[in-house]
Structure 1
Amino acid sequence: MKKAVLVIVGLVAIGLGGAWFSLDEDARAFLAKGQTDPNVLFWSIEERDAGFRVLDGFPVLAGAHTIAAGDERLELPKGDPLPLDIDVTDYMANQRSAALVIVHKGNVVLEEYGLDFTADAKWTSFSVAKSLTSTLVGAAIADGAIRSVDDPVTDYIVDLKGSAYDDVSVAQLLTMTSGVAWNEDYGDPNSDVAQFNNHQPEEGMDTTVSYMRSLPREAPSGEKWVYKTGETNLIGILVSEATGKSLADYLSEKIWAPFGMQQDATWLLNNAGNEISGCCIQAATRDMARFGLFMLGGGRVNGKAILPENWIAAATTKQAEIGTPGEGYGYQWWTYDDGAYAAQGIFGQGIFIDEARDLIIASNANWPSAVPTEQDAQRLEFYRAVQSAVDALNEDTEEQENTEAAA
């Protein structure tokens, strides 16, 4: 599995004063350990258990913007439990799962929590945020703020002019096929992903833009897929530049408030005060499931289309080969050849969406490491088991309806 580890959070364990008492018990316990390393890869499991639920409560680099919920809440009615041929308790223990919410035909058919996490608490999304960011590109096109995914990126981020991004379209940024050189190796302290957040930007320029404009080209645009966290951050800047709004405000305006999310979420910021669009939305797991419902509903809110026609189809089908049989990459969504697609983040965060089965699986976890092979493969097996359970349920329902019709 290809995931990005974003080294973006600077935590300070001393000098909090009165702010200490505004944080919950888990955060206080976390800070009491004296953790000051900004890289989550070097935290202990226990520190991550505490920290992942309260990242927006720490004195981060530049704080967090609130993604405001509205006055109305979209209810998630409880449905009949989905009969699964798998031990959910064992699965959650092996996943070190904080939350698992399965929605089928608009009803919650399974909802479980672990690691002392709850339905009303928030957990960081990591790269799940990438898929929400790409959806805002669609919203901006529908609003007329962005003309087309075929436009040059430099039409919207003028500071990229004169760089390797002169030949890159918005679509190529969305699909990570820019051809611009990038090293996403987190074991290499000199890699781009390890360096770009610490980059000292040119005066008046966003940190990400300043770093990315210095990168060379390694392949013709559109020909090579490489996972690049920095480019998702560029997408966020592009949306903000085009709309004149922060990502948090725009997400609240277009989806979070009108669709009926249960509570405010937050979005961490970089040192230039912009949302880190490749990472770090803190939200309730049920609200991530609601975002899945927004996608399943064709990107509509109260009957109004928020996204262009066919946007979801284009965004969630394979636009780029990633070298894994049966999988691909769309507009910041991981795709499966059976038609399902997913938003995924390190340490086990995810939203799995299967339109054909009217199915959503929202999950949060704290895996033993960022992308462990065992837990990653086990999660995909779980997705398949849930799909099989839905298929069996549909077959039973169809058989019962046929029997009743014949009686």
Structure 2
Amino acid sequence: MNKINCIVAVSFLLSSAAYAQSILPPDQAFLDQVEGFGVTQENWDSGENAAVTFPNAYKFTRHYVVEPSGDIEPESWTESKSLDLSELTAEDADGPLDIETLLRDRLKNHTVVILKGDDLLHQHFWNGMDETSTHLDMSVTKSFTAILAGIAAAEGKLDMTAPVEAYLPRFKGTAFEGVSLQDVADMNSGLDIPTPPFLSWDPKFTESQEWNGPNDSGLNGIEDYLVTIAQRKYEPGTHYQYQDPNTEVLGLAVEAATGVGLAEYLQDKLWSKLGAEGEAYWMADPSGATVASGGLNMRTRDLARVGRMMLAGGKNYAGDQVIPAAFLDALWMGNDRVRGAWSNGKEAVLAPNGWYKDQIRILEIGDHKFAAFVGIHGQVLVVEPESETVIAMNGGYPQTETERMNSMIFLQIVPAILDETAKM
């Protein structure tokens, strides 16, 4: 039996065990409560409702609970230095403003936590939130899915050079056939997915997940949708295109390779070793598959802890290697393939010398080089090794796919903060 056939056989045997963890239904009491204020499953993710729904997103869908471990307590942060965002300025279209005002009033930010090494420089919780509040992290989730793939690869369970169908036989004959998992992880699969005007995804994608409640799509989970994608626009590995289906396929491959669901794998391999302060919640579809591209909910302080772990080369504060060092080394180094694909993508305008690898952006802006986990409404994790800085933030910017939000955060606010932390 050759290597690929062996992978197929093993993944087929394991797939039946994928969802041993209990899945919880939408929180009906909460749905009844918010309905009186005009918020429903159908409209919960609208910009109008983001302030109230994003801190409670998992309650609108099926979800898994990801428990922290009692074996490792949250790391204590010192507070020997501080950073006052009201005293830092950045540019907006009408001139300079202090960063606190820009975040709160113009970008609809909800929370920020800033670390320099083990020092907590700044934290704020607006929008009625506090440090125990969770928040929907949208596409920041993608980076976690890729980290789990990196862990599975380091354990010898997942071969990132293998084609998608080696782990997911149902994808033979689709646009994913013959595409390596690495090209999927790097958003370089070359998919051709028609989308409506002003929307970056096919509505059938979210319908299959019941992201906005039950519907008549006839799709029972994300896999039913993914196997309908039949065309490629580009040769794999040549063009960076930011497309959610790539992440969902990567998540399904991790589940097939490991024999457990992503939420359980996250709990066992990362959350229980992080020293998390609280539970995370991972939203799921009707089949039980996690929403690998955008369904994680967590505390902002715990998101910052993941950034702190990256600064430590993937080790937690107890010295345990949690995120594989080789995964992080390859991320920071990049390669000609991801650089070339990035140069052919639309985000190269933002950072010409950047790249996208393993669902994480590496951006070189001004004097700074940092990793960025990015969500569509202002959810961000920034990690800059040189200044030992972590910036975790969550927000509810009402529009999606906007040049304004991205340019304000990554060309103005983040560099201004990093300029200041570099001096400290």
In structure 2, C-alpha distance between the alignment counterparts of 1:28 and 1:97, rounded to whole Å: 27
Q: Would the aligned equivalents of 2:45 and 2:54 in 1 still touch at CA under 8 Å? A: no
Of 406, 409, 412, which aligns to 1:376? Answer: 406
Aligned counterpart, 2:75 = 74
Matches within 5 A, 1:1-400: 19-20=28-29, 23=30, 30-36=34-40, 38-39=42-43, 42-44=46-48, 47-58=49-60, 60=61, 63-71=62-70, 72-82=73-83, 85-86=88-89, 87-93=98-104, 94-146=106-158, 148-183=159-194, 185=196, 187=198, 193-199=202-208, 207-214=221-228, 215-301=230-316, 302-316=318-332, 318=334, 319=338, 320-321=341-342, 322=345, 323-324=348-349, 325-337=352-364, 338-380=368-410, 381-393=412-424
Q: Equivalent residue of 1:305, what SS?
A: coil
The residue type paired with residue 295 of structure 2 is C
**Aligned residues, how many?**
362
Question: What is the distance in 2 between the residues matched to 1:261 and 1:41?
Answer: 26
1:29–1:50 Cα contact (<8 Å) kept: no
Change in 2 beyond 3 A, CA 1:289/1:308: closer
Aligned AA (1:164): A
CA contact (8 A) 1:267 1:282 kept: yes
Q: Secondary structure at the match of 1:198?
A: helix
Q: Any idea what SS the aligned residue of 1:340 has?
A: strand
- Tell me the distance in 1 between the aligned counterparts of 2:196 and 2:181: 25
Task: Quote how far apart the aligned CAs of 1:116 are.
Answer: 1.1
Asked whether the 8 Å contact 1:347–1:369 carries over to 2, the reply is yes
* 2:9 aligned residue: none
Q: d(CA) in 1 for partners of 2:307 and 2:325?
A: 18
Classify 1:31/1:227 alpha carbon distance in 2 versus 1 (closer, same or farther; 3 Å).
same
Q: CA deviation at 1:349?
A: 0.6
Q: CA-to-partner distance for each residue in 1:230-286, whole Å, 9 max, x for gaps?
A: 111111111111111111111111111112000111000012111000012111000
Verify the 8 A CA contact 2:45 2:53 in the aligned structure 1: no
Following TM superposition, by how much is the alpha carbon of 1:40 offset from its aligned partner in structure 2, in angstroms? Answer: 5.1
Structure 1: which 5+ runs fail to align?
1-10, 394-407
Conserved? CA contact 1:317–1:339, under 8 Å: no
Distance 2:359 2:304 in 1: 18
Shift of 1:330: 1.4
Q: State the one-letter code of the partner of 1:107.
A: D
CA deviation after TM superposition for structure 1 residue 141, in Å: 1.0
- Paired with 2:143 and 2:197, the residues of 1 have a C-alpha distance of 22
Kindly provide the amino acid, as one letter, of the partner of residue 417 in structure 2: V
Cα 1:262–1:212 change in 2 (3 A) is same
Residue 139 of structure 1 aligns to a residue whose secondary structure is helix
Name the amino acid aligned to 1:306.
V
Aligned 8 A contact 1:95 1:348 in 2: yes
Give the TM-score normalised by structure 2: 0.79
Contact preservation (8 Å) 1:316, 1:331:
no
- Structure 1 residue identity aligned to 2:35: L
Q: Please report how far the alpha carbon of residue 172 of structure 1 lies from its aligned counterpart in structure 2 after TM superposition.
A: 0.2
Q: Any conservation in 2 of the 1:193–1:230 contact (CA below 8 Å)?
A: no
Matches of 2:175 and 2:402 in 1, distance apart? 34
Backbone CA RMSD of aligned residues? 2.5
Aligned-partner residue type, residue 152 of structure 1: P
* Cα deviation, residue 28, structure 1: 6.8
Aligned AA (2:34): F
Instruction: Return closer, same or farther for 1:194/1:351 CA change in 2, 3 Å cut-off.
Output: same
The alpha-carbon deviation at position 369 of structure 1 amounts to 1.6
* Alpha-carbon distance in structure 2 between the residues aligned to 1:135 and 1:390: 27
Q: Tell me, yes or no, if the aligned pair for 2:69 and 2:271 is still in contact at 8 Å.
A: yes
Cα–Cα, structure 1 residues 340 and 139, in superposed 2: closer, same or farther, change >3 Å? same
Give, as a single letter, the amino acid of the residue that structure 1 aligns with 2:320: K
2:182 and 2:47 map into 1 onto residues whose CA distance is: 36
Aligned residue for 2:214? none
Residue by residue, what CA displacement relative to the aligned partner does 1:300-338 show, whole Å, maximum 9, x if unpaired? 243332344421132345523133224331110122124
- Residues 212 and 137 (structure 1 numbering): CA distance in 2 closer, same or farther, change over 3 Å? same
- SS of the counterpart of 2:187? coil
Look up the SS of the partner of 1:164 in the other structure: coil
Letter in structure 2 aligned against 1:332: Q
Q: 1:42 and 1:186, CA in 2 relative to 1: closer, same or farther beyond 3 A?
A: farther
CA deviations over 1:55-76 (Å, ceiling 9, x no partner): 2223x2xx10011101122223
2:110 alignment partner, SS class: strand
The answer to whether the 8 Å contact 2:111/2:395 transfers is yes
Q: What do residues 203-246 of structure 1 show as CA deviations (whole Å, max 9, x unaligned)?
A: xx973333223321222111122111011111111111111111
What SS does the aligned partner of 2:406 have? helix
Shift, 1:79, TM fit: 3.3
Q: Are the structure 2 counterparts of residues 317 and 40 from structure 1 closer, same or farther at C-alpha, using a change threshold of 3 Å? A: farther
Structure 2 CA distance for partners of 1:372 and 1:224, relative to 1, 3 Å: closer
TM-score, scaled to structure 1: 0.82
Structure 2: runs of 5 or more not aligned:
1-24, 90-97, 210-218
**Secondary structure in structure 1 of the residue aligned to 2:386:** helix
For 2:403 and 2:234, locate their aligned partners in 1 and report how far apart those are by CA, in whole Å.
Answer: 30
C-alpha contact (below 8 Å) 1:289/1:361 kept by paired residues: yes
Look up the SS of the partner of 1:329 in the other structure: strand
